[in-house]
Structure 1
Amino acid sequence: MSKTTMKDIAEKLNISINAVSLALNDKEGVSQELRMQVLELAVTMGYSQKKLNAKSILKNKTICVMIENKKKNDKYYYLDILQNLKKEANIFGYRILEEYYSLDHFIIPQCISEQHIAGIIILGKISQEMIYQLKLYTQHILCVNHSIPYMNINYIITNDFLGGYLSCAHLIKQGCRNIGFIGDIEKSSNFKQRFYGYRQCMINHFHPKKYELIYLTKGIEQAVLNNDYQYIQKMLLTYRKMPEAFVCVNDRNAAIVIKALQYNGYKVPQNIKIIGFDNMEFSSHMTPSLSTLEVNRQIIAKKSIKRIHEMIHENTIPETIMLSPYIIERQSTQ
């Protein structure tokens, strides 16, 4: 059986033997994209050389991005972060392998179990037990947008409490006093923190009693997932007096609330003002366009790749990086 040579790899990729040599020996002179193609092909074709371990080189340049199954079709947020991670990873000389996981039936991805990666970035909710399992293979684990307060690992999170507070404060500046909140706070710790921020802002400005706060949380997330605006429309009808404005836990909630309000004969923002969270792509194309809060997803990606690069190459200690959101004002609060 003949051995694979650099010439074989070069012919397969239609490049020079010199380019193959530079890539295999991890030297400058070829693009990162081409380097990865050469390394992957070398491993696939069984290229072997005593002074070279292509698998080892490939491993040191590979990051696994794990995304919760529920976020698989979330092209407006999580998949947008994924695309930005790939761009940033290329700048730092890494490739990204994406894997999807289930909270209910968690299985270690093969690229991790076979130790083909240098680090892991997790997008979405994850449990303590799952972190323990992943730590058997690498200590280079970074959680994005979700944290476990009692686990000392690396996180990049949004200051959701501040986000809820800023949303409410923005509506107050617009002249609103009677402000409600909409979002299923039991479905996400991020949602709950946004609610706490809204509530604290109301307490600081108006000193309301608990029963005076208007918030709609029960069954909202399921209604949003099912695009069931009629459920929300009926829930809104239970209020004797509608608020002047609503802080919504995210843009999807805000969009369906606007639809429900319009069904009930209200105009946004003339009768009721609405603010969302996340600045999803559709929020600027709605009628009315949606005011929202954002932590720039490109910044999230930049911070994530920079942090995991430090974890891989330096002697670091666990760190939590908290990013502050900012308001993007559009028609729904004007």
Structure 2
Amino acid sequence: MPHKTSQRLSIIDIAHDAGVSPATVSRAFNRPDLLKPETLQRIREVAGQHGFRPNRVGSSLRSGSTRTLGLVLPTLRNPVFAECFEGAEQYAHAHGYSVMVASSSYTPATEAEAVQSLIDHQVEGLILTVGNAARSATLRMLAGQALPYVLAYNESATHPFVSVDNAAAASEMVSLLAARGHRRIAMVSGPLTASDRARRRLAGARGQARKLGLQEVVHLPMASHTEADSGQLRGLLGTRQAPTALFCSNDLLAASVISSLRGLGLSVPADISVCGFDGMTFAGLMVPPLTTIEQPSHDIGTRACASLLACLQGETPPSVRLAHRLIPGGTVAAATSAAS
């Protein structure tokens, strides 16, 4: 007798052919982590033979659970956040959840709209990267709701987060620059109001500079988080106490700064040293390779998703600071070379 068509097939049919209970088939599609690998494989093979796919909408209506998580990131143009999404999505999928993603474009109003849209789509929890966790109107709005959320990249004293220690990482980079003889360092970033990560990196850089007896780290804010302004760079480097090293708050901005410096007739690192933050894959492909701080973005997404699922189980997960890694490259030279 031929198999039933996929439109008429139910989990009872799949259970019969796989030799398991309907509840086990349900778990295979909703909580695969609860099954033995061999059982899960057998059910998936049978379902594949029949072309069976579960009716997620019907299941959500019956259970009152959408098994969908929301993820709000500043942008997906930056590979760092794309890696975070990938880590979160893979972990969610392995545990029977889907991820709906939205971007805020570093704008508080857009951030709030993105969160509200995800709430309207009945997500069960949120992973968020906000502009300023300490002053976020979005987080104040969420505080009045029962929807659990976990912060990614932000650091907070009052809510679970997954990040690196931004200040400590920046301190380590300043120590590297000081070891190469740099005493005049400038931090280049986008608007600090839209990134508390950049603010923490600036604070860490300045604190370490004071500790090492260096000059105060100058802050050069750009209008964009990922695009340099040649005019601002020209103005900074035209002063008597011009910096010999530029520490950029992210790798995309560092790449743009290096391009702008070349447009101004300067060579990196012969005339001036440049370093970044993020450890993107492309940074190692630059010529010369970029000196940078690597943060494990894929793992940040994975751990944030794991923490959110723990929240959905009624747990209170601890905040996590993952390890960063300083990657020496060819864009930092001795200060004597840079100053000349």
Normalising by the smaller structure, the TM-score range is 0.7 to 0.9
Q: Is the alpha carbon distance of 1:251 and 1:82 closer, same or farther for their aligned partners in structure 2, counting shifts above 3 Å?
A: same
**Gap runs ≥5 in structure 1:** 48-52
Secondary structure of 2:282 counterpart = helix
Query: Aligned residue for 1:130?
Result: 138
In structure 1, distance between residues paired with 2:52 and 2:168: 45
1:141-173 alpha-carbon deviations (Å, 9 max, x no partner): 111122455xx3222232111121111101122
When residues 137 and 196 of structure 1 are mapped into structure 2, their CA distance, relative to the original with a 3 A threshold, is closer
For 2:244 and 2:148, how far apart are their aligned partners in 1?
Answer: 47
Asked if 1 retains the 8 angstrom alpha-carbon contact of 2:65 and 2:124, the reply is: no
**Which residue number in structure 1 is paired with residue 99 of structure 2?**
96
Q: CA deviation at 1:206?
A: 1.7
Q: 1:253 to 1:98 in 2, by over 3 A?
A: closer
Gapped regions of structure 2 (runs ≥ 5): 29-34, 334-340
Q: 1:8 to 1:21 in 2, by over 3 A?
A: farther
Aligned amino acid, residue 26 of structure 2: N
Of 205, 209, 212, the residue aligned with 1:202 is 209
**Equivalent AA in structure 1 for residue 138 of structure 2:** M
1:42 aligns with 2:90: no
Give percent identity, aligned residues only: 17
Work out whether residues 187 and 217 of structure 2, in 8 Å CA contact, stay in contact via their aligned partners in 1: yes
**CA–CA distance in structure 2, aligned partners of residues 325 and 315 of structure 1:** 27
Mapping of residues 162-177 of structure 1, within 5 Å: 162-177=168-183
Is 1:73–2:77 an aligned residue pair? yes
Corresponding residue for residue 26 of structure 2 = 25
Maintained 8 Å contact 1:278/1:294: yes
Alpha carbon RMSD of aligned pairs, Å? Answer: 3.8
Q: Structure 1 runs of 4+ off > 6 angstroms?
A: 14-17, 33-40
Q: CA deviation at 1:109?
A: 4.4
1:119/1:34 CA distance change after superposition, 3 Å? farther
Structure 1 residue 119 corresponds to structure 2 residue 128? no
Counterpart of 1:205 in structure 2: which amino acid? L
**What is the CA distance between 1:181 and its match in structure 2?**
2.4
Distance 1:25 1:54 in 2: 15
User: What does residue 50 of structure 1 align with?
Assistant: none
Corresponding residue for 2:31?
none
What per-residue deviation string (whole Å, max 9, x for no partner) do you get for residues 10-51 of structure 1?
Answer: 39xx978746946753254346x969999984244x57xxxx
Which whole-Å CA distance do the structure 2 matches of 1:143 and 1:84 have between them? 14
Tell whether the 8 Å contact from 2:293 to 2:326 is kept in structure 1 after alignment.
yes
CA distance in 1, matches of 2:220, 2:325: 24
Change in CA separation of 1:99 and 1:273 when aligned onto 2, cut-off 3 Å: closer
Alignment of 1:129-278 (within 5 A): 129-135=137-143, 138-147=146-155, 149=157, 152-184=158-190, 186-187=192-193, 188-206=195-213, 208=215, 213=216, 215-218=218-221, 220-222=222-224, 225=226, 227=227, 229-278=229-278
Aligned length: 308
Deviation at 1:314, TM superposition (A): 4.0
Contact 2:86–2:298 under 8 Å retained in 1: no
| Contact 1:178–1:245 under 8 Å retained in 2 | yes
Kept in 2: contact 1:118–1:138 (CA 8 A):
no
Asked if the contact 1:284/1:290 (under 8 Å) is kept, the reply is: yes
The residue type equivalent to 1:173 in the other structure is A
SS at match of 1:269: coil
